[in-house]
Amino acid sequence: MIRALLLAASLLRHGSGAPDRAEFAVRWDPAEGGPANAAEVFALLDLPARDGAEYEVRYFDLGPPEGAPAGAAVILRQRTGKDGAGDVRLKYRLARPLEGKWSCPAGARFEKDSEIDVSFGAAPEPARVYAYSCTLEAPAPPAFLSAVPKACSSRVTRHASGRWKVEDWSLPGGGRRLELSLRASDTPAQAAEFSAIVGQLRGRGAKPQDASKTDLGSRCPDGGGRP
């Protein structure tokens, strides 16, 4: 079934100009079962474990910037490393691919990118969302976005080995999530490869969850607002 869905999506993509690259991802709570850390995930993949880079991740409230695609969910997050350097990413997420050209807000030197987010959760089939992002190397969002920071942030350790990435999230209010992801071509073969890994994770007790990192990292215990 997954192969058939991805094949149909591939035909739609090539007919609409949608992104041809995808990020396949699965998230679980290690307290409920499954691999408990990045080293155990890489062992499952038969890959060497790597030291992780540590970040603080904070999300923002903001209205749709000028030029935002109609109907898109607007997400803004700031990621800061231990050395104080960081980046800001503005992302538009839609259920269907954009037709024609799109642009990042004027006023800053954003780098454009696009991909299909393919998330494996509790449902039998993965969820697919079209993501169009604008990334800026900066310690804070540009003032013209009028973004309001959430009152909370997450601590994230990011590990990479080969094509695979594992993120260990310490969430606002307590709790952890692990995410395994793979950036690759949006093809049935890649989807089948990732689906097989998800099956192995389930076999080790992991319970894939539907909530995205944005959902999890934006849920402040006090309801949000400025820090």
* CA-based nearest residue to 1, from 135, 226, 223, 195: 195
Note whether residue 223 is domain-resident.
no
Structural domain count of the chain? 1
Written as one letter, the residue type at 113 is D
> What pLDDT, on the 0 to 100 scale, is given for residue 225?
46
Q: Which residues contact 82 (CB under 8 A, 6 or more apart)?
A: 54, 55
Q: For residue 223, name the pLDDT band (cuts at 50, 70, 90).
A: low
Note whether residue 197 is domain-resident.
yes
Note whether residue 84 is domain-resident.
yes
The percent of residues in the chain predicted with pLDDT above 90, rounded, is 81
Average pLDDT over residues 195-199: 97
Judge whether residue 10 has pLDDT over 70.
Answer: no
Note whether residue 91 is domain-resident.
yes
* Residue owning tokens 């309001």: 148
Q: For residue 222, name the pLDDT band (cuts at 50, 70, 90).
A: confident
Instruction: Please state the φ and ψ torsions of residue 30, each to the nearest 5 degrees.
Output: -65, -20
Average pLDDT over residues 37-50: 94
- Element of type H or E holding 93: strand 86-94
Note whether residue 72 is domain-resident.
yes
Note whether residue 78 is domain-resident.
yes
> What pLDDT, on the 0 to 100 scale, is given for residue 7?
41
**What's the rounded Cα separation, in Å, for the pair 90 and 88?**
7
Half-sphere exposure of 64 (CA within 13 A, CB side): 10
**Domain ranges, residue 41:** 2-218
Average pLDDT over residues 12-29: 77
Task: Give the pLDDT confidence of 81-118 residue by residue, as tens digits.
Answer: 999 999 999 999 999 999 888 899 999 999 999 999 99
Global model pTM greater than 0.85: yes
| Domain harbouring 157, CATH code | 2.40.320.10
